[in-house]
């Protein structure tokens, strides 16, 4: 069973540089891929990271600034040329379809699959997707235009069956699923064997939140409380806090304060302004507040 993995395709802000591509990341879980944001150049990063495009069915768009979504038409067109036939879902604010549909109607009119927009309100926390493996909630953020983050939560997993005990007590195969579901077992002799004899606890379910772009915004803390991993934008350092406030972005210190108050396990900083040739200033600033912080970088794969 493939575990939860975060792939960073791009983590630069506003303008692609020789150092950073524009924002996009992909969660890989149980043989499926889930994309968050799709800046220009994402299709090329997708290819470079050797991810299988057929496994991608859902794209989540945080907000309608170009650096987070202008890679969509090219990606969709390329999937068509590569022979995709299964539907592709784009989860975004309702404006997204209004903006992109005419572009797709022109540039992607020959693609052999359907692009389906699933729209949500950016103003309230909402369950926008779930399947057997995970659920996705929006996280309303504070930016110049309506913006959401996304909370990805793996569904509760089944406990591990202890094979030897199943054999020892001669549990019929057809009852194993009931034991996985928590039931006790009654032997042919009528003895009750408690459930805990047969199972070890399930692996914990992973919870990951993507919060970009946003100003410092404490409202998100209850939503991301105790999660395993937080990706929080840190476009600037605290020295440039004036610019951060003007543009509704965060400093590295502010990202760390959010991580600390939310008691997350680990923080990944991203969405870096091109003004910092050495991004270790961002890392150091955050680590003084929240030590378990790392910097995002293109091609980074984080198994959670």
Residues that bind a copy of itself (CB under 8 A): 14-18, 40-41, 43-44, 47-48, 64-67, 70-71, 73-74, 77-78, 81-82, 95, 99, 102-103, 106-108
Least CB distance from residue 225 to a copy of itself, whole Å?
35
Residue among 78 and 205 whose Cβ is closer to a copy of itself: 78
Answer yes or no: are the C-beta atoms of 80 and 111 closer than 8 Å.
yes
Answer yes or no: are the C-beta atoms of 235 and 244 closer than 8 Å.
yes
Least CB distance from residue 10 to a copy of itself, whole Å?
11
No. of helices (H) and no. of strands (E), the chain: 10, 18
- Give the single-character DSSP code of 225: T
Euclidean distance between CA atoms 87 and 95, whole angstroms:
20
Residue among 71 and 122 whose Cβ is closer to a copy of itself: 71
Least CB distance from residue 212 to a copy of itself, whole Å?
17
Euclidean distance between CA atoms 122 and 58, whole angstroms:
18
* Stated length of the chain: 304
DSSP symbols for 31-48: TEEEEE---TTHHHHHHH
Euclidean distance between CA atoms 25 and 56, whole angstroms:
12
Residue among 105 and 191 whose Cβ is closer to a copy of itself: 105
Residue among 63 and 137 whose Cβ is closer to a copy of itself: 63
User: Which of 67, 95, 191, 213 is flagged as catalytic?
Assistant: 67
- The question of whether 67 is a catalytic residue gets the answer yes
Least CB distance from residue 103 to a copy of itself, whole Å?
6
The catalytic residues are: 67
């Amino acid at each position: 069973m493939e575990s939860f993995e975060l792939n960073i395709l791009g983590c630069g802000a506003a303008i692609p540089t020789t150092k950073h591509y524009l924002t996009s990341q992909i969660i890989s879980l149980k043989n499926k891929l889930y994309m968050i944001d799709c800046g220009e150049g994402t299709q090329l990063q997708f290819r470079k990271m050797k991810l299988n495009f057929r496994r991608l069915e859902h794209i989540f768009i945080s907000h309608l600034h170009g650096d987070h979504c202008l890679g969509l038409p090219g990606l969709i067109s390329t999937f068509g040329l590569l022979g995709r036939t299964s539907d592709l879902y784009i989860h975004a604010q309702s404006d997204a379809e209004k903006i992109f549909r005419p572009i797709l109607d022109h540039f992607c009119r020959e693609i052999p699959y359907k692009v389906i927009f699933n729209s949500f309100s950016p103003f309230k926390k909402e369950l926008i997707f779930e399947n057997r493996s995970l659920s996705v909630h929006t996280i309303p953020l504070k930016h110049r235009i309506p913006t959401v983050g996304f909370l990805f939560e793996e569904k509760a997993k089944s406990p591990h069956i202890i094979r030897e005990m199943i054999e020892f007590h001669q549990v019929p195969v057809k009852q194993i699923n009931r034991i996985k579901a928590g039931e006790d077992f009654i032997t042919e002799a009528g003895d009750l064997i408690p459930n805990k004899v047969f199972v070890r606890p399930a692996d914990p379910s992973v919870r990951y939140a993507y919060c970009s772009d946003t100003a410092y915004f404490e409202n998100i803390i209850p939503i991301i409380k105790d999660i395993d991993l937080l990706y929080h934008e840190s476009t600037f350092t605290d020295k440039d806090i004036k610019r951060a406030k003007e543009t509704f972005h965060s400093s590295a210190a502010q990202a760390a304060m959010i991580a600390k108050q939310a008691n997350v396990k680990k923080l990944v900083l991203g969405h870096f302004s091109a003004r910092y040739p050495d991004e270790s200033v961002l890392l150091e600033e955050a680590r003084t507040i929240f030590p378990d912080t790392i910097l995002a970088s293109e091609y980074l794969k984080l198994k959670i």
